[in-house]
Amino acid sequence: MILTRRMVITQAWPIILGQSLVPLVGLADATIIGRTGDAAALAGVALGATVINLVFWSFGFLRMGVTGLTAQAWGAGDDDEIVALVARALLIGFGIGVALLLISPLLISPILAILHVPANSLAPARSFTMLRFFGAPAALAFYSINGWLIGLGQTRLALACQLAMNIVNIVCDLVLVAICHLGAAGVGIGTALADWVALFTGICAVRSILRLRPSAGRAWRVRTILSRQALRRLFSVNLDIMVRTVAILALFSWLSRAGARLGTVPLAANHLLMQLVGISAFVLDGFAFTAEQRVGVAIGARSRPALWRAIRLTAEFSLAGAAIFSCLFLVGGRVLVDFVSTAPPVRAEADRMLLYCALVPLVGMPSWLLDGIFIGATRGKALKYAAITALVGYLATDFMMRGAGNDGVWTALLASYIYRAAALALGFPALLRLTSPSIAMDDFSMTGAGQGR
């Protein structure tokens, strides 16, 4: 079946809605804390969220790698592998989450020290971060389920899980912060509870799909799930994606550190604007995720025309969406900033940086879409090298622009997107070769995808 624009929209809109709710929850957290007028608490939650993102999303390959592998298995017609993949990834994700919870007391203080948290924000940052780790097993296990659902094109079920998680998160924040006055700790508790709700709803979604697959019983056997060859394939694909994710998280962690270096007010203002950036990035990820699934299926079927069509149609929608967000931020960004924060210095600094914020969707869109394309193709090494290139380039730009204050911070961020997109573009010829009929399925799954030759 030839991919159409209607099919892209049908598949993308649940992801867009679900993804848009992710930064909206962060925006709700910032609003609830911000409207107390406590800039130190807001900065503490911002830095605590940076720690959690750095640690949790280091294992984001549990979502990204599973999406590409599942889509490729679907394109190749391998039902047994489709079923076994979710069990394999769930087991790994939950195990890693438990390990993170156990070692979290050893991680929090060193990471907060590296971020140079202002003294008045240290206590709220530590309490928020400690409580968030109680959701680690559920969060990482849900990454696997979410990636599997997207890989199968089951975006409406993925949306249902996301809605359940976000509704619980916001309700808990309102109760624990606005009513019980628990501050940053209340935000941490609410988000951890929401992680467990997401895992429960995700398992229900998986069960509803497996009931329709007669091969589910055979694929759920321990021998199948723990197949040495299958596990080797999963880790070979995901190791490079993990390095890629760590590099990008390090970049954004340094961005928070750069804001903290300038003081509490720039840090809080940048955090508010990054919520807007997050909204645009997560919404446009709807098309990037669609590209992941469609590219994966095309490669699994070894169809170059399907690959090109998936790339072209998702790029059209991504560019249009980026332009719309840039205009919205320019026109309405100041109103949103004034609503979120009541602190005049934070409002003034955020208003001054609004133009940079509006440029991010247009400048960042190519790298976001290319990420989706390469993830769907499971080209881990290309993703890794592009992220490292972006990180090194960003750090160099940041050091050169330090004299420019917060303007330099945002200029370095914009430059990092350009570095990443350019590096990924260099890997395009190798990606196209994956649709060659002369390449065996096992070859590009085990080596081409995992090592990015």
Q: Tens digits of per-residue pLDDT, 403-438?
A: 888 888 899 999 999 999 999 999 888 887 776 654
Strands (E), 97-205: none
271: nearest Cα among 18, 39, 76: 39
Best-predicted range by mean pLDDT (186-195, 254-263, 346-355, 440-449): 186-195
Answer yes or no: are the C-beta atoms of 172 and 193 closer than 8 Å: yes
Q: Assign 215 a pLDDT band (cuts: 50, 70, 90).
A: low
- Candidate from 2-11, 22-31, 170-179, 244-253 with smallest mean pLDDT: 22-31
How many domains, in total, are found in the chain? Answer: 1
pLDDT at residue 34 in the model: 65
User: What pLDDT is attached to residue 139?
Assistant: 93
Lowest mean pLDDT among 28-42, 183-197, 270-284, 368-382: 28-42
pLDDT at 453 over 50: no
pLDDT exceeds cutoff 50 at 444: no
Contacts of 173 (CB under 8 A, 6+ apart): 28, 29, 32, 186, 187, 190, 191
- Considering only residues 235 and 101, tell me which one the structure prediction assigns the higher pLDDT: 101
Q: What is the DSSP string of 350-375?
A: HHHTHHHHHHHHHHHHHHHHHHHHHH
pLDDT band at 316 (very low <50, low <70, confident <90, very high): very high
Q: Are 241 and 200 in contact (CB under 8 A)?
A: no
pTM above 0.85, yes or no: no
pLDDT digits (tens, 9 = 90+) for 71-100: 888 877 777 778 888 888 898 899 999 999
Residue ranges making up the domain that contains 276: 5-451
Whether 161 and 205 have beta carbons less than 8 Å apart is answered as: yes
285 versus 148: which is more confidently predicted?
148
* 448 has a pLDDT exceeding 50: no
